[in-house]
Amino acid sequence: MLEFDAWQRCETIKHFINWRLPDPDGHLLDIGGYPGRMRAMMPQHRWVICDPLVDAAGEQLRGSATALPFADGAFDLAVSLDVLEHIPPEERFAAVEEMVRVSRIGIVISFPYRHPLVEAAERSVCDAYSLLHDGKDHPWLAEHAQRALPDYQAIAEHLASFGGQVGIFDVGSIQRWLYLQMLDLILELLPGSFEFAKELDRYYQEKLYIYEFKPLSYRKILLHLFSEEEPLSLKLVEPNYEEEVTADMEFYREVTLGLLKLMMRKPEPKPVEPPPVEETMEEKVDLSEPVEEETMEVVEASMEEEALAEELFTEPEPEPEVMEEEEPPEEVKQEESHVIPPVFEIDPAPEYVARLEQSLQLWEETYAATLQEMTHAQEWRNRLEQRADFKFYKRMMRLVGSKIEP
């Protein structure tokens, strides 16, 4: 959801390219840069993207960093942003050599590097992600741990063996990177947090990015220029420490207030249709009405039926005693013995009411359970709508070759 990490490295690489290629219409290769964030940020240059995930036509093709399908010196510059750590360690030198081969001026690469604090920060994010996603691995940090982060000094020494100049730059405060990554996990769980995330990204770009160029950093940027005619004197900004603390304090305040507003906001009520109920001869329930009215109607019906049953089956009051009549003849007694007895020998009203109450109770329990399941499903959908819907959106934009809006 938060775009600070990808924006940070792309913005920094953009400044390196502008410094070395100030004129437009440069020819650049972006290795592992699909779907094309650098191309969108610097449209004045001609970009070719080489990535194993390419699935659309255009100035891009599917390929491997260790065997680039291009001629020697085919591009002015080759760039690779946070790709080296995803390549097996034994193939990293080969990937760097391929970048050098296809470039005329030099290469620019960025990657999180091997350092105890960097590794500890990534483990913390992985643990939090696993806790929130039922033990699943983080989609891209898990591979960092599996393949080990690159040794930036070894990479720099290997580049220096080809001649020219190699500059090493720090980008991204470790503690700020960790804080924002943890914040990103929280925002993904809060419905309606997409706009708030965009506000935080804007604040980062305008007020915090300038303080990201000092050790200890989360990533290194290596700039290799093949020529030694012009000394590599590029120096990044060194801002005032007090101003940085002030910007951080303001940012923490905005984050806290924004999270509180999201957590205190009441979700908009959504109509939930009651589940279908099987109708019987004894119970007819109209589910098109609200639940409370249904319950009142059933209760009123049961009271009316109970009163009717009492009228029908309650024994009449005994009549006043009369003088005993003479015993009828034997024949009359025999005829009376053939008279059909009453259909109900006991009062049936309590049994009917009990069955009605039992059916009503069963329906209420079924409705409550179904309503609870639907509520859980809606909550889960709200949690996933930002991430899942945006992934589908990006997929569709890639297929039609359109620009992806964050």
- Mind listing the pLDDT tens digit for each residue in 319-356? 555 555 555 555 444 444 444 444 434 444 556 566 66
Burial 28-48 (b: 16+ CB within 10 A, else e): bbbbbbbbbbbbeebeebebb
Residue 112 forms beta bridges with which residues? 219
Q: Mean pLDDT in the chain?
A: 80
Considering only residues 167 and 56, tell me which one the structure prediction assigns the higher pLDDT: 167
> What are the residue ranges spanned by the domains of the chain?
4-265, 271-312+342-406
**pLDDT (0 to 100) of residue 366:** 73
- The whole-angstrom separation of Cα 20 and Cα 225 is 9
Nearest to 170 by CA among 217, 123, 135, 116: 217
What is the Cα–Cα distance from 380 to 161, expressed in whole angstroms?
54
Nearest to 145 by CA among 172, 121, 180: 121
Per-residue pLDDT, averaged over 279-299, amounts to 48
The proportion of the chain whose per-residue pLDDT surpasses 90, expressed as a percent, equals 51
CA distance 149 to 143: 9
Q: Over the stretch 142-193, which tens digit does the pLDDT of each residue have?
A: 999 999 999 999 999 999 999 999 999 999 999 999 999 999 999 998 988 9
pLDDT at 406: 55
CATH of domain 4-265: 3.40.50.150
How do residues 7-55 score in pLDDT, each as one tens digit?
Answer: 999 999 999 899 888 888 899 999 998 888 999 999 999 999 999 888 6
Helix boundaries (H) for 191-329: 194-203, 241-264, 291-313
